[in-house]
Structure 1
């Protein structure tokens, strides 16, 4: 495909000459009150919140690679108040807690924004809103149900017909949309992570990059974390390590490393921008069964993602995801969405694991008598939700008695996911069905309905 002929297989967000230098790796023994394993959004937010609450608390973060070079440096970067992957998912999983979760989501987003703006972090924040667009007339009834939820829970949202949707973003596929206009927008995720790192360092957090955790030993009063070149004895440990399980062997029982593919175009010219409109610069999700999302960058590239996949045994860096053919189907979806941009080429293509759970929302897993807590499972909605997950993890570690810990989201676990080889077999069949269900239906729809009834959200 010509559009992919010169693509760089690397996240666009990280391809930035202004990226900060790495903090030194840990060498030798150390002690700390709170150790955070993982230097992504969850880990950095946890460090910041812990120091804001108690400036005297000794807090350390270790990161196996570089800050932002995991899941936090790869997402679309669409900002919202949701802490549970949208209103529809909240109704599916925790209908009795929706009002509380909505309130907590608003509080979380406001604190997220206040921290970033209060410390002067330039993360390309834009508040143009968030749109969910129907790509088939048959999807409009579901979209109207979603809009009713927005109204019921007080969102500043409008329902757009086809003409009004086309006036916002010109795509022949878009039949209608919900436009949520308050506390929603986009952010440059790597800049956000780098900014959070700077805040944490300013607050006195010790950060060690290139410091992979190798093992955990329970010493009774504390945990000993052995790293490549050192060890840390910590009274409390937050495992902010995503799906691939650093911290405890049972983490993977509830979280699977699905892979998301993303493309970034070259910067659009003013004339190319005129072809699509998009003057309000909303972040967009569509209603394909295998969802696509899209947004604009500061320099008017389109970042276009979706088409999830899975590699055997939760592989996190397979060579196959650095081949052009892996992205051809996604590029084809882009061409269907914006056929008027046939002269636009892609500059970057990347993929990486998403910590998918049956709930599609953060949850807590306590280990080692509560001295260690895993917080994760955002399923792609972690740009703002990670602050909420970090706070919950700290509440649980510190045993604050917060009423938020009584919520089912915090006090129960998602459904378990089969081990290999059944995990791979089920994922392969499901991915094949997802790729073709919207055009071919048949057994694919029956299989996906079965998977949905088993508790896996599609």
Structure 2
């Protein structure tokens, strides 16, 4: 008999919520769990992965009783804090090929393109107003060290006779993004941006309309294996035949997953609206832009003219424990503000109205993993999205639904299923201490490379110890 203790997340203060969540008016909209309930499938986590899994299960079984347990409210975790960038898995096709082989890699990439089409249909039909704008995703270089970062992915696509990307020169990038910082790159045209909190809250409404039970403000504190699984929350319990863990970085509370999962922080800021300035620069639509530095930048312009500017900070969680600094960075996004001035010096005087942080669940392979616990039958998991999930979690929902239903199909046979091909990490405290040293080296190297300055041999070697596929 297995028992797992889960950690309740540190709930954000209202003023620390992401711009997205405040803009969408996100809040608890369903009843907390009180008393005892029974269900066929309990899903821990009401973000993109949990909601899409519930919807995929409902598509395949109209009579299945499905219950989502969310610690805060749907979308309040990583799903409502990210950069809102939508692109396919073709950007990671090289990583996918290493893990699952060329045939399935292409299939998963195509499935993520289908997911973008599905998002577009939800937007066009009026079922979810996620403010989707498919104006392209730009993967760029703004220093010599970043040049050609996309060549592996682009080359493998060409080898398979597919061309999801187009090359961009400096003039094109300047015209499209309004910045001269990035001077080479590629664009995926069938990609773009969303308001991620609107998407998450819309998926919540869609799930409720499909008869899926959702209890918000109901953190799962423990899982107990028996004839059925018992999920304990502060004011009640759920008895479930099967359980799916979809709670992002908080899944690191489970030791079997923590061996492979590490948690880092991202930082994001939002500026005051400045549509007139952005229009003059030529940045007029909803394209998504990122660069190729180690602490990757990702940014978009909202419809009302704010700039959302995110950066992977690399702060590491000890034993996966996430305190208030994973809701809002103590430096209030100062690194992002500095980079915003570098990329858009014309915006140097803009006020930053929102700054927030969020934990990112990472795997060494930079790809998610799905499966059923070997010694805990009926306990399934989907984690490790590495910050790339808007077009990928609809695919994850297919995989998890097949696993939960015991189907034998392309989803359940995916090479993303199972931990045996994944890289285990060192135990604590070695992992944390080593990560701190490596992170310092990465930040120092990153800052030098952005300025096209020479990186010392020792610093380079230490920085290369970072997990990579």
| TM, length-normalised to structure 1 | 0.90
**Cα pair distance change 1:94/1:430, threshold 3 Å:** farther
> 2 CA distance for matches of 1:100 and 1:365?
19
Distance 1:320 1:140 in 2: 31
For structure 1, which segment, 168-177 or 85-94, has the greater mean C-alpha deviation from structure 2 after superposition? 85-94
Alignment of 1:38-437 (within 5 A): 38-82=45-89, 86-96=92-102, 97-118=104-125, 120-152=127-159, 154-182=162-190, 184-220=191-227, 222-245=228-251, 248-270=254-276, 272-306=277-311, 307-319=313-325, 322=328, 325-367=331-373, 369-413=376-420, 414-437=422-445
Kindly tell me: are residues 185 and 269 of structure 1, through their superposed partners in 2, closer, same or farther at Cα, counting changes over 3 Å?
Answer: closer
Say which is worse superposed, 319-328 or 11-20, in terms of deviation.
319-328
Deviations 1:397-416 (A, max 9, x none): 11100123323212444211
1:319, CA displacement in angstroms?
Answer: 4.3
Tell me by how many angstroms 1:94 deviates.
4.0
CA distance in 2, matches of 1:138, 1:252: 32
Distance of 2:329 and 2:378 partners within structure 1: 42
Q: C-alpha displacement at 1:436, in angstroms? A: 1.7
Contact kept, 8 Å, 2:253 with 2:320, in 1: the verdict is no
Kindly provide the CA deviation profile for residues 234-266 of structure 1, in whole angstroms up to 9, marking residues without a partner as x. Answer: 111111112223773322111112110111111
SS state at 1:30 partner: strand
Distance in 2 (CA, whole Å) between partners of 1:335 and 1:147 is 30
TM-score w.r.t. length of structure 2: 0.88
Q: Aligned with 2:400: secondary structure? A: helix
CA distance in 1, matches of 2:208, 2:255: 31
Contact 1:364 1:376 in 2 (8 A): yes
2:435 aligned with 1:448: no
Q: Give distance in 2, aligned partners of 1:319 and 1:404.
A: 37
- Structure 1 pair 90–104 and aligned structure 2 pair: CA distance change class (3 A): same
Q: Could you tell me which residue of structure 2 aligns to residue 5 of structure 1? A: none
- Bigger shift: residues 373-382 or 17-26: 17-26
Q: Distance in 2 between matches of 1:90 and 1:370?
A: 27
Deviation at 1:320, TM superposition (A): 8.0
The question of whether the paired residues in 2 share the 8 Å contact of 1:162 and 1:176 is answered with yes
C-alpha distance after superposition, 1:142-169 (max 9, x if no partner): 4445433444452342111112211112
Residue 139 of structure 1: how far off its partner (Å): 3.3
CA change 1:398–1:457 in 2 (3 A) is same
Q: Which runs of 5+ in 2 are unaligned?
A: 1-14, 449-453
Q: Output the aligned Cα RMSD.
A: 2.3
